[in-house]
Structure 1
Amino acid sequence: MKFSKSVIGGVTLASASALVLVGCSSNGSETDPSGSAGAGATGDMIIKTNGSEPQNPLIPVATNETGGGKIIDAIFAGLVSYDATGATQNEVAESIETEDNQTFTITLKEGWTFTDGTPVLAHNFVDAWNWGADPANAATALNSYFLEPIEGFDGYNAEEGASNPAMSGLEVIDDLTFTVTLAAPNAEFPLALGYSAFYPLPDSFFEDPEAFGAAPVGNGNYMLADAADWQHDVQIDLAVNPDYAGERTPKNDGLSIIFYATQDAAYADLLANNVDVIDAIPPSAFASYEADLGDRAVNQPAAIFQSFTIPERLEHFSGEEGKLRRQAISMAFDREQITDVIFEGTRTPASDFTSPVINGWSDSIPGSEVLAYDPEQAAELWAQADEISPWSGTFEIAYNADGGHDVWVDAVLNQVGQNLGIDAVGLPFPTFAELRTEVTERTLNAASRSGWQADYPSLENFLGPIYYTGAGSNDGDYSSEAFDTLIDEGKQAASPEEAIEKFQAAQEVLFEDLPAIPMWYSNVNGGFAEGVEGVVFDWHSVPLFYEITKG
């Protein structure tokens, strides 16, 4: 739909009223896009929420984006889970013990089963991790980076021709016990074990991974009861797993995750009480949603970092020329103005590559001056790059139109274009999955919106998975020996304080190279419908769905 715009100080601002009054869901009737609560989720207390079509099949180690991650985390359970504050608590693990932070003995609790009735045993973890590390599965196992600390890892950096590795650092002791030996000590390793890359897989997965991805069998507190309950590009319906053996037992009857085409449609459904809880508010409603929802509005800090990535493979962005141009672009737009005017203070200008809610965060890392708004310096840097190779073409930022990003993209590019004297425009994709496909296949010839929602509460989690050489979420194919070395040293540090020093030093390297342009940190801005209770958003912005009820 079209909507009016006005320009304030170079910032394009969407009319708040034009978008918020959309009266229909993106996928059908207002009350239920599919016309059904789902064959696998039955009862009077089905919790409806917003989401997006997963980019990839629902395999834990293959999922590194939020649409699929929300579903994966509902249908699988790991060795540990995270509470609302990010603290770890044992889930499938009875104990995780180590004397040297290098060899860990993991003992599982008895009584856990997958939804196909088979038991969750030690080999289900070991086999899943080995599959994720196998170079033959590298195109699918996008999260294999997280397995790299394990001794014998043969993932992205394996020698050509290697196949079917069994990591030497994994050993099954008995049905409920296995050991993990790391290539080097890593005190943070247990903290990561609640992330999806470390989830177990049933034996049936290995018989046909492709079929499994369409109808996954998990061990979490919810389950996909029937493949038909995943209506692609519409919604997915999850039933409560009656055999779930953990302590996060759902207080409701299941989840319906609706794949809205726009955030505005989801918000309109929330105002009409047609969806129960949403974890994103459209920019058009930032000024009004807290008044609209009252005590049902959510606005709290979260471990979310937003940026855009400019790959070195793009023309004019390699070598010294590319470094100068990225610095110029970073200094050519006013983060403070954009967060104040467009986001109504629901975002905070970034001063690093991580998040203020993570232990060890700093707003004074050397090199972060490149995030300051300085149009004169930006123009000078751009001119220096032109002396190496004169600029030609149009600078574009690709984004998914279903995520409410058009307003800030227009604002950033209006200022970049004006201050650098170039053509700069947004490149919209209809859905997140379509954008991510071109990004991961390296067919996108433009910069792209990027960012990170933390998997576990650590500075390293914002750095290694995105910028380490060959990491699965390294969209720009950035590679720096200095950065990699500092990340490795931080992982092997003897104390959290020493690790933080290494990770901050690694950020100094990032500020010099700018493989991505930091923009801002996000609060989680959401809300819930009338009659809905027990809504708690956790440390990385996801509702604890199992706690939600409604009358």
Structure 2
Amino acid sequence: MSRSRVAWVALPAALAMTLSACGGGGGTNTADGKENPDGTVSIYGTEPKSTLFPANTTEAGGGKVTDSLFSRLVGYKAEDGAPYNLMAESITSSDAKVYNIKIKQGWKFHDGTEVKAKNFVDAWNWAAYAPNAQQAASFFAPIAGFDEVHPADENAKPAKDKMSGLELVGDYEFKVTLNGPTSVFTTMIGYTPFAPMADSFFADPKAAEAKPIGNGPLKFVSRTPNALIKMERFDDYKGEDKVHFKTLDYKIYSSQETAYQDLVAGKLDFMEALPPSAKVGEKYKADLGDQVVTANLLGQSAIAFPQYIPAFQNPKLRQAISMAINREQITKTVLAGSYVPSTSFVSPGIKGYREGTCGDACKYNPEKAKELLKESGFTGKVTIQSNQDGGRKEPLEAACNSIKQALGIECEFVGATNFGAFRQIVDGKQLTGMSRSDWSADYPSIENFLNPLYRTGGSSNDSNYSNPAVDALLKKADETANEDEAIKLYQQAEDLIAKDLPSMPTWNEKGIGGRSKNLIAAKMSFKRQGVLETFRVKA
């Protein structure tokens, strides 16, 4: 999704745990002026690839929509991702394996029905159940009984339709039993797939697909494909992250350049990322002045080698291509210093991050790259696939040019019309070449940079990578209650991933966005999303 230099506040795992409620913060971009609480805000958007169900949205285009539609047990501070209780009254455990969760009373869905513990239990079971084919189903794997509702064999029929590890205690209380002690669970459950679903969803999922019913600060109004997603403030919302405007328009663009022109002209109110042309010579500073919005991002850009393409099963070819990319030059020129070269499979700012874990494979070395190419026996053409929108085309074309110059083979950028179309190709395992595989943290944990991307069957495993030794280490880390010990195991898994190089880290983004003069205040989060509760519309 489902996006660089912040600290994660560790949670004690083996003792009784209770998250304390606290609000988000960070540096606010403000301007003098009175606000209009009934104003309209427009935000840059890309076409979501699928339904706006919380467990089926793992990409940025749909993620920013579902994040405002659905509230979860836990929220994250905007500037560093530190967790705090949102819908949860308390989350307690004496052993980091069995959790008792009590939810706050009086919260409502957008259809007026009350949010109860049953809505969480039913939603998690539905999302995990294999026949429902939810993209983020694997995030429920730590819960006991997941393997019975979601067998490892895609062709196997599930033995049950409900996880044994979920138990309803009362209207506002439920119990979660995990496969083993887990240090990250109380942070993980703030991720969108862990949202509750209204009773009306289970009665008619098709109707909910057309008009999602959430429990978040904004309610769904309408969706015009490739054009607009319209939302309105939910006035009965009980969370501390309520919004201070009336209407939100997610404007869908196929060109980031066009969106930026609209931002500068005041026809668009917020962009969380700017096009390469705006960054050259820091042009955006002249264009936007004090309307520039910055953030510390937790994320990474990478290029995946799909393992179902025979040529990429050769490790020497993968290494050759990675060594042929001049990351330093591309980040300084095409990306105008708004990115820095990446040398690790985990983002800086994440506890457990180590610089240089990619080793020599992420260092520009055309001579060694040529040797490895010759040893691989490969003589054909390579391609890099991505969406053309969102400013992704230019740096990947530069990567292709670097590969051509270093290796003397043809390389071509192949662009899909928009992000939604691109993700359908990736998720359908229909790639014919390398693939852009960027990642923004769903929550601030080293686990979130490894399990979804490199575990067998992971929700965003774009390379279709599978290594039983990596899976075993990740499973052991997942079931380790002590955070420091768990991190050591995750790091061992990362070291094995680096040797296999199923994807190559390329660069890490500095968070630079912008607002229009229509907004007198706005923030951006570690996930590279607008922090909507900080937005204030000029009167």
1:424 and 1:62 map into 2 onto residues whose CA distance is 33
Q: In the TM superposition, what whole-angstrom CA distance separates every residue of 1:55-85 from its partner, at most 9, and x where no partner exists?
A: 0111111111011110000011000111112
Give the aligned partner of residue 375 of structure 1: 366
Give the unaligned 5+ runs of structure 2: 1-35
Q: In the TM superposition, what whole-angstrom CA distance separates every residue of 1:362-381 from its partner, at most 9, and x where no partner exists?
A: 1043x522100000011111
Shift in alpha-carbon separation, 1:274–1:156, aligned structure 2, 3 A: farther
Give the aligned partner of residue 447 of structure 1: 434
Answer whether contact 2:151 2:158 (CA < 8 A) is retained: no
1:300 and 1:459 map into 2 onto residues whose CA distance is 20
Return the structure number with greater relative CO, CA threshold 8 A, min gap 6. 2
1:216 paired residue among 202, 212, 216:
212
2:379 paired residue among 376, 391, 394:
391
Answer whether contact 2:179 2:479 (CA < 8 A) is retained: no
1:126 and 1:97 map into 2 onto residues whose CA distance is 17
Answer whether contact 1:397 1:426 (CA < 8 A) is retained: yes
Give the unaligned 5+ runs of structure 1: 1-41
2:242 paired residue among 249, 258, 262:
249
Describe the SS at the equivalent of 2:510. strand
**Aligned-pair identity (%):** 37
User: Aligned AA for 2:473?
Assistant: L
1:93 and 1:155 map into 2 onto residues whose CA distance is 27
Matched, 1:337 2:329: yes
User: Aligned AA for 1:148?
Assistant: A
1:415 and 1:156 map into 2 onto residues whose CA distance is 43
Give the aligned partner of residue 274 of structure 1: 267
Q: Which runs of 4+ in 1 moved over 3 A?
A: none
Answer whether contact 1:80 1:92 (CA < 8 A) is retained: yes
Answer whether contact 1:283 1:342 (CA < 8 A) is retained: yes
Give the aligned partner of residue 156 of structure 2: 160
TM-score, with length taken from structure 2: 0.90
With 96-105 and 235-244 compared, the bigger mean Cα shift is at 235-244
2:44 and 2:160 map into 1 onto residues whose CA distance is 38
The Cα shift of 1:207 comes to 2.0
1:501 and 1:438 map into 2 onto residues whose CA distance is 35
Q: In the TM superposition, what whole-angstrom CA distance separates every residue of 1:137-181 from its partner, at most 9, and x where no partner exists?
A: 13xx11011100000003251671225521110000111010000
Matched, 1:325 2:314: no
User: Aligned AA for 1:279?
Assistant: E
Describe the SS at the equivalent of 1:383. helix
Give the aligned partner of residue 477 of structure 1: 464
Give the aligned partner of residue 16 of structure 1: none
Describe the SS at the equivalent of 1:502. helix
User: Aligned AA for 1:384?
Assistant: E
User: Aligned AA for 2:397?
Assistant: D
Matched, 1:401 2:395: no
Shift in alpha-carbon separation, 1:373–1:55, aligned structure 2, 3 A: same
Q: In the TM superposition, what whole-angstrom CA distance separates every residue of 1:337-391 from its partner, at most 9, and x where no partner exists?
A: 11011111110110101111212211043x52210000001111111101xxx43
Answer whether contact 1:135 1:163 (CA < 8 A) is retained: no
1:299 and 1:538 map into 2 onto residues whose CA distance is 9
2:91 paired residue among 68, 74, 96:
96
The Cα shift of 1:503 comes to 1.4
TM-score, with length taken from structure 1: 0.88
2:429 and 2:389 map into 1 onto residues whose CA distance is 21
Give the aligned partner of residue 203 of structure 2: 207
Describe the SS at the equivalent of 1:517. strand
Answer whether contact 1:103 1:180 (CA < 8 A) is retained: yes
The Cα shift of 1:323 comes to 0.8
Describe the SS at the equivalent of 2:437. strand
Describe the SS at the equivalent of 1:427. strand
User: Aligned AA for 1:358?
Assistant: I
The Cα shift of 1:549 comes to 1.0
The Cα shift of 1:533 comes to 2.1
1:294 paired residue among 289, 293, 313:
289
Matched, 1:50 2:9: no
User: Aligned AA for 1:418?
Assistant: Q
2:310 and 2:94 map into 1 onto residues whose CA distance is 51
Q: In the TM superposition, what whole-angstrom CA distance separates every residue of 1:304-342 from its partner, at most 9, and x where no partner exists?
A: 200111111113122xxx211011100001101110111
